[in-house]
Structure 1
Amino acid sequence: MNAGWIVASLLCAAILFAIVLRKPLLAMFDLELANRKRRRLSQQETRAIIQRLRSETQAMKDDRSRVEALLALSELEVSDVMVHRTNMRSINADNAPDMIVREVLQSPHTRLPLWKGSLDNIVGILHAKDLLRALNEADHDFSCIDILKIAAKPWFVPDTTSLDDQLNAFLRRKAHIAIVVDEYGEVEGLVTLEDIIEEIVGDIADEHDVEMQGVKQEADGSVVVEGTVPIRDLNRALGWALPDEEATTIAGLVIHEAQSIPEEKQAFTFHGKRFVVMKRDKNRIARLRIRPASVEGPPQPAAKP
């Protein structure tokens, strides 16, 4: 009898203990489940979280680069980003209309400068859409087309104009292209609205873009470059950081560093690159081969490759 009472008392005590401590016990149990669930989700989502963080970090870097590029527009001039006259696609206005139509159709550009007599005499800017519209109105009779009447008036800007001012001028005039001239009025090249925007956001590719002219990647890792290729374009295309303060073209950089006009097959090492002169045309470096230098250091004297 005593034993039965003892057992019954213990059971009652256990029940009362459970009732009194049920909330703390349940809370602890729920917390443990939550911790287990949290750990399980963390293991499953770790890779996705890391990837998202990487993407956000890269986006922040891209945004910072764009802001820095935007602020730097006032420090750059149109001559820093223009297409040099030697690489500028243009059309002789004295050519037959059918030949002009063929040149326009073969060009990847929508707007092309027209010249008469020489490239220093730009007489108009021909828009492909205006040409096609005129062809349609003339029932595709080339002889009825007056190219100069179709062309827009050219807009000339000094080569010392800042990119900031030029961008504002483009937006104010609702224009897309301007001819760049030096202090003597001679044509140096052309600059477009896209050139300036690309300085801020990077290259803008479209379906009609062609590979960078004058640059060819070789199987051995070297790059063959025409001397007239702008340093900024080369840096942007290949991710390089060659200086462009003292020269605009890659040939100009080599001449500046060498302090002379090198002979063919001469080689120089500077700015982490090995430059070999492949072709010289009179007093002009026509073609170079560039590869990573095996040893970083100051510019080296001319030597055989």
Structure 2
Amino acid sequence: MDDFSLNTLFTVLLIFLVLAGFFSASETSMMAINRYRLSHLVRKGNKSAKLTTRLLAQTDKLLGSILLGSTLLNVAAATLAEIIVLRLFGHGNNTAVLLGSLTITFVILIFSEIMPKVIAASHAERVALPSSYILAVIIKLFYPVVSIATAMVRGMLWLLRIKVQADHSHHKLSLEELRSLVLEAGNFLPRKHQKMLLNLVDLERITVNDVMVPRNQIEALDIDTDPAELRQQIITCHHTLLPVYTETPSNVIGVLHVKRVLPLLLEAALDISQFRNILHDPYFIPSDTPLLKQLQQFQERQTRMGLVVDEYGELLGLVTLENILEEIVGDFTTQSPAQTGKFLRQDDGSLLLEGSTSLRELNRKLGLHLPLGEAKTLNGLILEHLQDIPEAGTSLKIGDYPIEIIQTQDRAVKVARLFPAQKHQPLQSG
């Protein structure tokens, strides 16, 4: 080293520090790069992204090569700094050697470790993609040494009974992680689109029992009815698909598509035998079927309506393709007369609600936060809370919402008044 001038030694030291900073930055950028963004670039044919993906697929070799290069450069920089100090202050000055060691340690920490890592973490993609070309060459150069070191590490991990996943570059997202990802993307998505994506994620957790039309609200046809009356019911119906039953509403024998019955309505009298022949077989759905699975079933069966049954085969209600789509995109503008009038806002800000209204529908349409659990309707929530059938005039509070029972009928709450949390008045228990 005596043959080299101090300027040359300082230049070489600076080069060592810069190269050590490169290794630190490349390590951080490779680990911090957005894998989903990287996959997107790969699909677009980006060569740098493809190379980066291949490097991340062999994490042990990648990290081994980076750490080997970084360690060699840091040690070389520390040794060269000691030589420079000795050249400047002589061999007998221990204080100068100590201060020189502390100084080079501080310089390496700031300029070769912390600063490059901070920059790389903030601009992971811009650092990782170009760095991949250099790292690919370094991995090949360091392959023999890294292979031996990696084999020794794996052997020690095996002795310690520590299992290591071979590839960390890809992993499956859980529903909660996917939901968090959509929430974090709120700055890049319109609020409506974000809500639709969240609703789509939630389809796996929601069952048909949560969105079905209850049995007592189903518009159905009794095939035992007088043909003239049955004809009138078909003409005035509000739906294109109607369950047809015999004896009791739970005994569904088929589903009528109204367009198929139109030729029969042209006759003077409705022919019941022909009417039976045009019925589709009913499609029954278990009540605990997730909405996402049911959406796929509708697509595979090329149908738009199913009858929901419990574990004993008892009819609970029906669910349509529209019910599922509304959970994703919100309510459609068209409604039948039977579906209107469920919400009536009063002058004092309170809401008159039908007891049979779905809790999910109330939360979605009115922006409420009523608890969703075993109870599916407002009536069910009130009965679950009181553990009794209330009388008209009874008041209670569920969550932040005071509720007053206005009308009961057939052992159920028919109409209730709900006071929004921000405008409610104290109520006396009845």
**TM superposition score category, shorter chain reference:** 0.7 to 0.9
Alignment equivalent of 1:62, drawn from 182, 188, 192: 192
Deviation at 1:209, TM superposition (A): 6.3
Sequence identity (%): 32
Shifted more, 170-179 versus 254-263: the winner is 254-263
Q: Quote the residue 2:220 is aligned against.
A: 90
Cα distance in 2, alignment partners of residues 116 and 217 from structure 1: 40
- Larger RCO: 1 or 2 (CA < 8 Å, sep 6+): 1
SS for the counterpart of 1:119 is coil
Alignment equivalent of 1:191, drawn from 319, 323, 326: 319
Counterpart amino acid of 2:268?
Answer: D
Unaligned runs of 5+ in 1: 1-55
Pair 1:69–1:191, CA change in 2 (3 A): same
Check if 1:134 corresponds to 2:264.
yes
Alignment equivalent of 1:260, drawn from 381, 388, 397: 388
Pair 1:224–1:295, CA change in 2 (3 A): closer
Deviation at 1:190, TM superposition (A): 0.1
What is the 5 A alignment of 1:1-305? 60-136=190-266, 140-145=267-272, 146-206=274-334, 211-281=339-409, 283-293=411-421, 303-304=429-430
Counterpart amino acid of 1:141?
Answer: A
In the alignment, is the contact (CA less than 8 A) between 1:78 and 1:180 conserved in 2?
yes
Shifted more, 241-250 versus 118-127: the winner is 241-250
In the alignment, is the contact (CA less than 8 A) between 1:78 and 1:159 conserved in 2?
yes
Cα distance in 2, alignment partners of residues 293 and 280 from structure 1: 24
Aligned residue pairs: how many? 244
Cα distance in 1, alignment partners of residues 270 and 237 from structure 2: 22
Q: Hey, which bits of structure 1, 4+ residues long, moved more than 6 A?
A: 56-59
Deviation at 1:98, TM superposition (A): 2.9
Counterpart amino acid of 1:195?
Answer: N
Q: Deviations over 1:14-36 (max 9, x none)?
A: xxxxxxxxxxxxxxxxxxxxxxx
The TM-score with structure 2 as length reference comes to 0.52
Larger Rg: 2
In the alignment, is the contact (CA less than 8 A) between 1:125 and 1:153 conserved in 2?
yes
Cα distance in 2, alignment partners of residues 208 and 57 from structure 1: 37
Between structures 1 and 2, the one with greater helix share: 2
SS for the counterpart of 1:286 is strand
Cα distance in 1, alignment partners of residues 248 and 344 from structure 2: 30
In the alignment, is the contact (CA less than 8 A) between 1:89 and 1:112 conserved in 2?
yes
Deviation at 1:301, TM superposition (A): 10
SS for the counterpart of 2:256 is strand
Pair 1:210–1:282, CA change in 2 (3 A): closer
Cα distance in 1, alignment partners of residues 388 and 248 from structure 2: 30
Counterpart amino acid of 1:135?
Answer: L
In the alignment, is the contact (CA less than 8 A) between 2:358 and 2:378 conserved in 1?
yes
Unaligned runs of 5+ in 2: 1-185
Deviation at 1:96, TM superposition (A): 2.6
Deviation at 1:133, TM superposition (A): 3.2
Cα distance in 1, alignment partners of residues 389 and 420 from structure 2: 22
Pair 1:78–1:207, CA change in 2 (3 A): closer
In the alignment, is the contact (CA less than 8 A) between 1:261 and 1:283 conserved in 2?
yes
In the alignment, is the contact (CA less than 8 A) between 2:359 and 2:370 conserved in 1?
yes
Pair 1:261–1:243, CA change in 2 (3 A): same
The TM-score with structure 1 as length reference comes to 0.72
Deviation at 1:128, TM superposition (A): 1.1
Counterpart amino acid of 1:256?
Answer: E
Deviation at 1:219, TM superposition (A): 4.0
Counterpart amino acid of 1:104?
Answer: I
SS for the counterpart of 2:232 is helix
Deviation at 1:257, TM superposition (A): 2.4
Deviation at 1:225, TM superposition (A): 2.0
